[in-house]
Amino acid sequence: MVKKMNIKKWIVGACFLVLIGCSNNSKKEYYENLQGGKDSKGRAQKSNLKGDRVELYSNYKKDDFPIAKPIAYLGYVNDMQLPKTPFKSYTESEFLSFYKNIKAKGYGDSSNYWRWHFILTKKELNNILNKNLVKLSSRRTKEVLTYSNGKWIAKSLPLNPIGELQELKVVQRGKSGLIIKLLIKGTRGKYLVVKEGNIRNVLGLSKSTTGTQVNIYGAKGGAEKYGERPISKNPSLLPSAFFSFEKNSTGGYKFYGGGYGHGSGIPQWAAMDLTKNKGYSYQKVLQRYYADTRIKNLNSIDEIGKSIRVGIMTSGFSSVDHTKIGLYSTGKISLKSKGGNISISPRTYVDFTNQKGYTTVVVDGKIKLKTKHYISLSSTQMIAVTNIKRNIKNSRYPFYRGNFEIRQSKNQGKLNLINEILIEDYLLQVVPSEMPKSFGLEALKVQAIAARTYAAKDILRKRYQSLGFHILDSTQSQVYNNLDENEVANQAVKSTKSLILVHENKPIDAKYYSTSSGFNSSAHNVW
């Protein structure tokens, strides 16, 4: 899912001392100021909150970027415990204090991404913004706005569009703290980056962009200091868009943030916390984060059968286009095509390539078939894909249930691999890839229903129909067969068999993500 993160990043770290040497009274005053909307001199401040958005444009002209339609079941949720209501005036100084405060407590705060911190020098930040802004604009032209002739417009950008950074400023947030619009002002231009994913992307810290190693340090709730070991090094995408920053004396910036993922739907660490430590049932967790929904049997939904077609991506989930596909099974493989049928003995490796418009099948080093048609394969046992690597520990290659289909890609010389599988069997390899068994059975039931609902929604929306499948096996949809199966996840899938969530009798867009920063964002402020 876009959304969403692969919980494989299960996290290390503890935290940084924010209230060093504070007396109990000063701690109390600190929390009172956070909740009271007061400035540094104790004066009351006027709230910047307009509806569910915080307007911080000040002297800058507002843009007219359209607001997405709200989704009734993906709304704002307060998961904070201490302080319960940290924002009163919704000023940028309040947000900075909130994200700096590693003593803050909330649901799911045992994740080391509950709070995070990193520092960039002036040179690093200039490199990042000048390179990333051009790349982002080329992909998301309408979501990178340039200030030109008194208006914010979408246009192509030149190389080094920032020049030297003069100002970095948040101009709009959701009331959850999520940054919606980020102002970047440099010697060569003024720009607005719009939407959560783009903001995380434009500040991506890949080493090819920064030119240096940048470490992100994490903290659990209530900690005394950040962990000594980084939780991430040079990520190409920031952990979340729940962050704030301040300039340091050398012209660089210190960034303080919270959470991991897009921030809308179910935070998986909170689901674990609520079910393990607060006595919540899986039904109660689902209702907390998917308001105004009800549970229904998947089989009662028109247009959805028992199977799903999954596009299998290359190693690292980098592409759907394979240069070569290798398959193996301990059982007999049956291969069928309009170009001919082949029966392949157990424990035999089979390779497929696209050569001059023909799919070529090689068995034991010999060409057995050439065809321009798609090829379908089935086996009496699970089938391994030998040309890709996943984080599977119990076998050399990832093994799959169901059948396979090999098609020629629209990208010349490449092949696409599609796994057609029963939805319930598909979930046996999704749920453990998205949530660890240590989270417990009840949390895994939450994950199972969310994942099943997400799959149902993707079948209906048909976004990959032109490629011949319903859903991808990566975080662009939801992660499939990236980690070993386990008995707890299997029990969660089987005990919730066929159950999905609906709103107005239709499967919901069941978004989920790793870690909350303390607040869930309304979906229309994210996408």
Q: What is the CA radius of gyration of the chain?
A: 25
Which is nearest to 471 in space by CA: 147, 150, 3? 3
CA–CA separation, 348 and 366 (whole Å): 12
For residue 106, pLDDT beyond 70: yes
pLDDT attached to residue 353: 98
CA–CA separation, 354 and 363 (whole Å): 15
Quickly state the pLDDT bin for 42 (edges 50, 70, 90): low
Give the pair of three-digit tokens for residue 120. Answer: 């960039």
Look up residue 103 and give its amino acid.
Answer: K
CA–CA separation, 412 and 431 (whole Å): 34
Q: Using a pLDDT cut of 90, give the percent of the chain over it.
A: 91
Q: What is the 3-state secondary structure (H, E, C) of 153-170?
A: EECCCCCCCCCCEEEEEE
Could you read off the pLDDT of 44-94 as tens digits, one per residue? 678 999 999 999 999 899 999 999 999 999 999 999 999 999 999 999 999
Which is nearest to 235 in space by CA: 259, 193, 200, 262? 200
Q: Do residues 515 and 42 make contact, with C-beta atoms less than 8 angstroms apart? A: no
pLDDT attached to residue 46: 87
Q: Do residues 420 and 309 make contact, with C-beta atoms less than 8 angstroms apart? A: yes
Please name the residues in contact with 424: beta carbons below 8 A apart, sequence gap of 6 or more.
306, 493, 494, 497, 498
For residue 493, pLDDT beyond 70: yes
Place of tokens 């319930």: 424
**Cβ-count burial of 167 within 10 angstroms (0-12 exposed, 13-18 middle, 19+ buried)?**
exposed
Q: Using a pLDDT cut of 70, give the percent of the chain over it.
A: 92
Cα 355 versus chain centre, distance: 36
pLDDT attached to residue 38: 59
Quickly state the pLDDT bin for 381 (edges 50, 70, 90): very high
State the average pLDDT over residues 173-178: 98
Could you read off the pLDDT of 241-277 as tens digits, one per residue? 999 999 999 999 999 999 999 999 999 999 999 999 9
pLDDT attached to residue 45: 74
For residue 119, pLDDT beyond 80: yes
Quickly state the pLDDT bin for 41 (edges 50, 70, 90): low
For residue 22, pLDDT beyond 80: no
Q: What is the mean pLDDT of the chain?
A: 93
Cis preceding-peptide flag for 83 (omega within 30 of 0): yes
**Cβ-count burial of 355 within 10 angstroms (0-12 exposed, 13-18 middle, 19+ buried)?**
exposed
Among left, alpha and beta (phi > 0; psi -120 to 50; other), residue 477 is alpha
